[in-house]
Structure 1
Amino acid sequence: MKRLILPLFAVLALCGFRPVPEYDRGPVHLTVLDRDAGSTLPQYRDGAQRWIAGEKGHRYSVRLRNGSAERVLVVVSVDGLNAITGEVAAPGQTGYVLNPWQTADISGWRKSSDEVAQFVFTSPQGSYASRTGRPDNIGVIGIAVFREANAVARDLSPAVERRSLPALRGQADAAEAAAPAVVDSVTTTGSAIRSPAAEPAQRLGTGHGARETSRVRDTAFERASAVPAQQVEVRYDSARNLAARGILPVPVQQPRDGTPRAFPSQYVPDPPQR
């Protein structure tokens, strides 16, 4: 069995209106970076779900930090599709291998061992999932993490798992038939229950952007179990939709009709020079 390998990066902490805990319940911590804004997207709670607000047209990457002293295999799903193979995602499929304490940025759909097509926030209709006829899971980024069987010290460079498709399907079926693994969750914050009819229509998906260099290599990895040790999901949509869902605060609109206000400015300005 084979996997892919990636370079090391600094790690940014989560922050936001209702932030999730800094650490995921498992070896891998997942964050999403807006590459055009140059910042980590804050994650917000809504019951057991976590959300980020994307900006249409912006490129993004999925940052994975292995916080353990062992190698792990991470299967990455974007809009319900495997980010390496493009298949409808299942935990038993191929993924990225992270070495102990390694951080890696997954910046696009893998096209080869040297190149990816950039992840970019786009309309749902323009997403890769919609364009390939599989739009059912647009708006979610997920990972399934596996520990290594009989772990031994190995080369500290990034890699990706590579296996034949029949083997992938067989392991996917076995994983789905088994009991669920420990799944990441966040504490319910008492958000109001909303009916499906009240949910705004999804405004963002992930497009198949420009090609860029992203080198990986194949490596061997034997999973310690058929089911993942950790699963994490992060949903995404526009800031407007997150505000409509009550996840983000609605910006206060300042009156424009000349009505006097008690607090027109945050700080005391200097008086004019005489």
Structure 2
Amino acid sequence: MKRRLISTALALGAVASSLALPAQAQSQPPARVGSLMQISVVDRGTGAELPVYRHRGEYWVAGRPGARYAIRARNAMGERIMAVMSVDGVNVVTGETAGVGQNGYVFGARERSDITGWRKSDSQIAAFEFAAAGNSYASRTGRPDDVGVIGVAMFRERMPEPPPPPVTPYPRRDEFGDRERRSESSSLGDARAKAAPGAAADKSVAAESAASPSGSMARQSAPSPSLGTAHGRRETSYVGKTTFERAQSSPDEVIRIRYDSRENLVAAGVIPVPPPPRWPRPAGPSPFPGSEPGYVPDPPPRY
């Protein structure tokens, strides 16, 4: 079933999926996750991609209260990919309580784009802004249970089936006698009868393959952290509309990134903190500075 889905209107062109980093930077936590698409969270004030920390099987980023941020998505495939995005359990395009079957953004092959806010129209968004959980858009609209998580569900596009090859009519030869024509017609019918079971089997296998689901996304609930995403100031952001038919009903990949303040993540052990440096202690006085044997001598005379 075809759906009309919002797509970015401006083509950003192909962008490299990875960058060469100096040796010191390579030791830092990665900033991007995902296979079909590389997802990162960008601090719009500094332009830096936030480090992604992996802790107990989950991805985390540290946000700054009051800072605006963007979800940066890079299509790593040579085909169109649809991304249904949610923040705090709310669809960023429609404002619905998020579900994987809803509308999203369509990215062209190798395309990169920053999703900077809640979609208000074809030309405006309300900026994503880290804020106290109680001031988040989800909490203010009565949906506080999933505050503190960013989700991206990705879908491949169904490719149109190639048209069947044209049927070449059997050439009519007037010089053939009735017997030759009947004989060749009978041979052609036998050949078609032999090929029919194989073709039927191919169709049966294709039908079973199309009916087999590739998996489903299990809904996971998370505790409400202290940081959420507010409905920030209005900004200009143009999009267009396109049609997209999913190859299957379940997502081909789901990315889940949780976030909170750096202080809370350090306290929870998500961000490792190196121990303070140990300074060498001074040598101090020695109880046995000399090793000469003997008895206690008299002190020198006073002057």
Q: Taking structure 1 as reference, are residues 128 and 98 closer, same or farther at Cα in structure 2, changes over 3 Å only?
A: same
Question: Contact 1:16–1:44 at 8 Å: present in 2 too?
Answer: no
**Residue aligning to 1:218:** 241
C-alpha displacement of 1:250: 3.1
Cα distance in 1 between the residues matched to 2:123 and 2:7: 11
Percent of aligned pairs with the same residue? 42
**Residue aligning to 1:180:** 215
Question: Contact 1:147–1:229 at 8 Å: present in 2 too?
Answer: yes
Write out aligned runs for 1:177-256 (5 A). 180-181=215-216, 202-250=225-273
**Residue aligning to 1:142:** 151
Cα distance in 2 between the residues matched to 1:234 and 1:39: 17
User: Which of residues 29, 50, 53 in structure 2 aligns to 1:19?
Assistant: 29
- The answer to whether the aligner puts 1:61 opposite 2:70 as a matched pair is yes
- The answer to whether the aligner puts 1:91 opposite 2:100 as a matched pair is yes
C-alpha displacement of 1:251: 6.3
After superposition, the C-alpha distances for 1:187-213 in whole angstroms (9 at most, x for unaligned) are: xxxxxxxxx9xx9x7221000000001
C-alpha displacement of 1:245: 1.3
After superposition, the C-alpha distances for 1:252-274 in whole angstroms (9 at most, x for unaligned) are: 568xxxxx9449xxxxxxxxxxx
Q: Which has the larger radius of gyration?
A: 2
- TM-score, reference length from structure 1: 0.71
Cα distance in 2 between the residues matched to 1:44 and 1:122: 20
Letter in 1 for 2:215: P
SS at 1:2 equivalent: strand
Question: Contact 1:16–1:42 at 8 Å: present in 2 too?
Answer: no
**Residue aligning to 1:120:** 129
Cα distance in 2 between the residues matched to 1:16 and 1:79: 30
Cα distance in 2 between the residues matched to 1:87 and 1:207: 16
Cα distance in 1 between the residues matched to 2:225 and 2:76: 33
User: Which of residues 97, 106, 109 in structure 2 aligns to 1:100?
Assistant: 109
Q: Taking structure 1 as reference, are residues 251 and 131 closer, same or farther at Cα in structure 2, changes over 3 Å only?
A: farther
Letter in 1 for 2:237: S
SS at 2:134 equivalent: helix
C-alpha displacement of 1:222: 0.6
Question: Contact 1:60–1:120 at 8 Å: present in 2 too?
Answer: yes
SS at 1:63 equivalent: strand
Cα distance in 2 between the residues matched to 1:99 and 1:62: 17
Question: Contact 2:66–2:131 at 8 Å: present in 1 too?
Answer: yes
Write out aligned runs for 1:159-178 (5 A). none
Question: Contact 2:84–2:105 at 8 Å: present in 1 too?
Answer: yes
SS at 2:146 equivalent: coil
Cα distance in 1 between the residues matched to 2:215 and 2:68: 33
Letter in 1 for 2:246: R
Cα distance in 2 between the residues matched to 1:206 and 1:12: 28
After superposition, the C-alpha distances for 1:132-191 in whole angstroms (9 at most, x for unaligned) are: 000000000000101101169xxxxxxxxxxxxxxxxxxxxxxxxx773489xxxxxxxx
Uncovered stretches (5+) of structure 2, i.e. residues with no partner: 162-212, 282-303
After superposition, the C-alpha distances for 1:7-33 in whole angstroms (9 at most, x for unaligned) are: 428567697877359552x31111000
**Residue aligning to 2:7:** 5
* Higher helix residue share: 2
Question: Contact 2:31–2:49 at 8 Å: present in 1 too?
Answer: no
**Residue aligning to 1:257:** none
- Which consecutive segments of 4 or more residues in structure 1 shift more than 4 A? 9-18, 20-23, 251-254
Uncovered stretches (5+) of structure 1, i.e. residues with no partner: 153-177, 184-195, 255-259, 264-274
After superposition, the C-alpha distances for 1:215-262 in whole angstroms (9 at most, x for unaligned) are: 0000011111011101000000010111111111236568xxxxx944
**Residue aligning to 2:164:** none
Letter in 2 for 1:105: D
**Residue aligning to 1:189:** none
Cα distance in 1 between the residues matched to 2:120 and 2:27: 36
Letter in 2 for 1:35: R
